[in-house]
A and B are shown apart, each in its own frame.
Chain A
Amino acid sequence: MGFKLLVSLLHVGQVSAGMFSDFITMLTPPEDISTYGHKIMFLFNYITVMNVFYFTLVCIGLFGFSYLYSAKRNKTPEYTYGNRKKQLKVTLIIGLAVFCTVDSVITVTANNDLVNTFWKFPESDDPETIKVQVLAQQWMWHFRLAGNDKVFNTDDDIVTANHLHLPIGKKIVFQLTSKDVIHSFFLPNARVKIDAMPGRISRIWVEFTKSGDFEIACAEMCGTHHYLMKAKMTLYDPDDFQYWESEAAKFAYQENDTGTVDSYWGWKWESNR
């Protein structure tokens, strides 16, 4: 009898532990395959720890005081007028404590990450970087690689729609614009997004660490079929990428419709500001 109970209890424990781990898996962000995604996650976790700490304090105050000082338990409230100086001090100290432990830390960290990582673009003449031009439109993504001559908007450009091919282990620089409305180029697996805006060229760089197929999303509402604006991203080992690139280049001349102006949507690569 007791044994059976123990077994069934263990079973319940197992099932609920399983459910819990399913739950955690469900709420885990997509796999991070970038060299810098961990910096964003670090900051996210730091803020979470701080938030849990301060929100616990709020809850202790909220529920604790509600329990301790309910009218039933505490008949006479403490009259607090007259010590306003003290009150001002208490509140200022709390305000400053929050600012020093949370805000200033995350501001400084985020700022360092921006300056040293996210805004630190490789030199535009660095031969090791891969350059990609992205044109967003309702509701698809166009990608353009410069091809053999390394010059954009020429006949040998490798142009793909809704499918981006890139190598891992190399810095990739994107320049983006949009044909019609504002879209947003979202790489969930790299934790970053950047808007693609008509009339402007925005830029972002990323370096991937894992080959395979991944998804690119449009994150900015861009019309009725916004939800269908997804692209596939295939990441190769550098050697495989070279092979893919040479194969694609062979077809580039045939596939580029050199007769229409529309197929020359690219632009002269803009150097770093």
Chain B
Amino acid sequence: MKVLVHAHDAPNTFLSKYIISYDHKVIAKQFLWLGMVFLAIGGLMAMLIRWTLANPGVPMPFFGHLLFPNSGGVVPPDSYAMLFTEHGTIMIFWAITPILIGAFGNLLIPLQIGARDMIFPTLNMLSFHFTFVSGVIMLLALCTPLGGAAGGWTAYPTLSLNLGSPGAGQTLWAIAIFLFGISSTMGAINYITTVICLRAPGMGYFDMPLAVWGLLLTAILNAIFVPVLGAGGLLLVFDRVFETQYFLAGAAATSGTGDPILFQHVFWIFGHPEVYILILPAWGIVSDLLSFFSRKPAFGYKATALSMCAITVLSTLVYGHHMFTTQMSPLLTQSFMTLTMTISIPSAIFFANWLGTLYKGSIRFTSPMLFSLGVVFVFGLGGLTGLYLGTTTTDFYLHDTYFVVGHFHYTMAASVFLAGFGAIYFWWPKMYGTMLNERLAKAHFWATILPLNGVFMGMMMMGYAGMHRRLYNPFIYDFLKKLIPMNNFVTTCAILMGFAQIFFITNLIWTYFKGEQASDNPWEVGTLEWTTPSPVPHYNFKSIPIVKCGPHELGNPKLTTGRDFQYQTEELVEV
């Protein structure tokens, strides 16, 4: 079957070039900038949260009076609840997802499989516009009379029903999530179909870079589970607007058939795979970058790809470990604990492969490599600390404490954003044709990763000491009073980490004005995108490339081309 796409000409007006573009590379940039704007918003919210925790009742300098004039610059308790709700929601759905999946999914899938565009360009464009609109609705919800959603990013009923959260904010939150779900589903269908149908001749599944593997598996999870979240969000809207009682129980319930725990099941059936939806692209990207800069093939490429598949399957079977304290049936509790533990087999394989890739390499410490090594470190910590929470009995103590907060920030925030930054530094030349400044990039790395560990390690320690989550003022409790210095330390680290991002912003501005022109293949890598000019021209490839070898052919001693790597379009030089 011959698939006909690419019916669009090179755009020439501003509108068709930058706003309603069908070009996957432009859509990737749109997603990237949207994600970065929301990342900044979510990051500033984190600063407000941290400030409040370290200095309850003290006005925040500068921002405080600007944002909360009525309370003299102090974050009030209801705004605090909105802040942590929006911080979580925005970071997950409008910062990580657009950057890792939207931007790099769009940029890398066609370029790395040798296609000229996504298979459904219109769907692709709509996917971005839906994300944009849903994000705007999310922010507008903050301006409603009673403010935005304040029930946590998990939005557990009955707190998220009218009984616990009156006002339009929570309804708009659910609508925004629903629209976001539509966007993600469209993107996912597009990614899966593109990878299946548009791989260049000669490119088998095991010739794809691991980044494409990660993005493909993410798309599969997205296609299956985001609709579940959408359904949950819609039912929440029904309960709130049309007075159905799917999730209502207790004194206010009249039907007697609703159950708030039903929502938790719906939410976590999506919510656990979501963790992997966010991390799989990062794993793929890191696996590739480690191989590229160790100048040798990825150790156990097939094992890595297969363990990613295994994790994808397992991730759908473990969601119940988020609900141990709701007292599910013993059988469910035991099964979910056991299944959760099996995830460590593929994860261990992963780590073995990453380290195996470094072993006897010839490592070039470029900025993308530093960020990738950083991911190995922080994901190691994040993954291992998951054991405490997958174990039912230790979870009885740690559930809903800062231990959980530290743990999931290590896995979802630290790992994913480090990988995202690494990817930005690595593929910037393909996007904009310029090189980002290496020195600033390395400063950015060190200035980020040191306080980062202070923040998230500190959070886990506080959780171990018993401090529970989402408290406006934890020091109401006598047994938490001793943690004031620790909270100060974590906040200081968080502020330092915030300021470290100035290196990144400076780098973007500096590169815009003074950045050196990138060569076609500055990192000396053989995957298909590096066979094109920088920046990549309209339609990517002059002629569709024919793939003859795998993505990591580096360091082959038999190479006679004068390079230490070979392009995927070259016949494999046998040893």
Residues of A with Cβ closer than 8 Å to B?
25-30, 39-40, 43-44, 47, 50-51, 54-55, 58-59, 61-62, 65-66, 69-71, 74-82, 84, 87-88, 90-92, 94-99, 102-104, 106-107, 110-111, 113-115, 118-119, 138, 177-182, 184, 186, 188-189, 191-195, 197-200, 202-203, 215, 217, 219-228, 230
Contacts and interface: CB of A to CB of B under 8 A. Distances in A.
A203 B327 CA distance: 8
B519 interface: no
A180 B303 CA distance: 49
Contacts of B157: 181
B361 interface: yes
Contact of A69 (B253, B360, B385, B477): B360
A222 B154 CA distance: 12
A43 B299 contact: no
Contact of B159 (A28, A104, A181, A225): A181
A195 B326 contact: yes
Given A76-B557, A99-B348, A217-B468, 16 more contacts: A29-B397, A30-B479, A58-B376, A61-B358, A77-B362, A77-B554, A80-B296, A95-B352, A99-B345, A102-B344, A103-B342, A113-B393, A181-B156, A181-B164, A219-B399, A221-B470
A113 B353 CA distance: 35
A231 to B, nearest CB: 11
A193 B397 contact: yes
A51 B384 contact: yes
Interface residues of B, number: 102
Contact of B294 (A29, A69, A75, A91): A69
B362 A75 contact: yes
A216 to B, nearest CB: 10
B569 interface: no
A55 B380 contact: yes
Contact of A79 (B159, B358, B557): B557
A199 B394 CA distance: 27
Contacts of A221: 81, 151-152, 156, 159, 469-470
Contacts of A219: 399-401, 468-469
B477 A76 contact: no
Contacts of B352: 90-91, 94-95
B163 interface: yes
Nearest to A222: B159
B220 interface: no
Identify which of B333, B397, B469 gathers the most chain A CB atoms within 10 Å of its CB: B397
B300 interface: yes
Given A99-B342, A193-B399, A27 B486 contact: yes
Nearest to B296: A77
A230 B555 CA distance: 63
Contacts of B260: 182, 197-199
Nearest to A199: B249
Contacts of A180: 158, 163-164, 250-252
A220 B470 CA distance: 8
8 closest Cβ contacts across the A-B interface? A199-B249, A198-B250, A61-B355, A103-B341, A78-B360, A77-B555, A77-B296, A65-B358
B295 interface: yes
25 contacts: A26-B465, A26-B483, A27-B465, A62-B373, A69-B359, A74-B363, A75-B362, A79-B556, A79-B575, A81-B556, A88-B303, A90-B352, A95-B348, A111-B337, A114-B393, A179-B251, A180-B163, A180-B250, A184-B400, A186-B400, A192-B396, A198-B249, A221-B469, A223-B159, A227-B472
B345 A79 contact: no
Interface in B353-370: 353, 355-356, 358-365
Interface string B264-298: 00000000000000000000000000000011110
A66 B363 contact: yes
A114 B392 contact: yes
Interface in B34-57: none
A98 to B, nearest CB: 4
A91 B353 contact: yes
B78 interface: yes
A153 B574 CA distance: 83
Given A102-B387, A200-B261, A87 B362 contact: no
Nearest to B360: A78
Contacts of B300: 84, 87-88, 90-91
